[in-house]
Amino acid sequence: MSALTEPVALSAALASFTERWSPRIVTAVNDYDVRVAKVEGEHLWHVHDHTDEFFLVLDGELHIALRETAGERTVVLPRGSVFTVPRGTEHKPYAPVPTEILLLEPTGTSTVGDRHDEVPAHVDETTGHALN
């Protein structure tokens, strides 16, 4: 996907689908996808070996459990918060309420990373879907 020539309303993009943990690509910036997703409940433990993962909470609240050298911790992102999971860090997103997020990742990055736990049925293993 290349950069768009017309503006995209994120509210319209998010209204165009109902699936959870199944991101849609709204545009591209250089070699990165800008994705939006609706999330609720648990994702899975996974690692992106070669890229950081950027999260922006548009609505709701996102928790991200992290397994770091110093131990395990959880960051809480309320609406309007951003957080970047560093490459190589095992993490598990969780949304206690219906939540809408924006992600920035290199084009082709899998939603379940390079290494991961078994993928549950409610998580879409994808590199992002085009908007309808």
pLDDT at 2 over 60: no
Distances (CA, A) of 6 to 46, 61, 88, 112, 132: 34, 29, 35, 30, 15
Taking the complete model, does pTM exceed 0.75, yes or no? yes
Summarised one tens digit per residue, pLDDT across range 34-59 is 999 999 999 999 999 999 999 999 99
Two structure tokens written together for 15: 């209204």
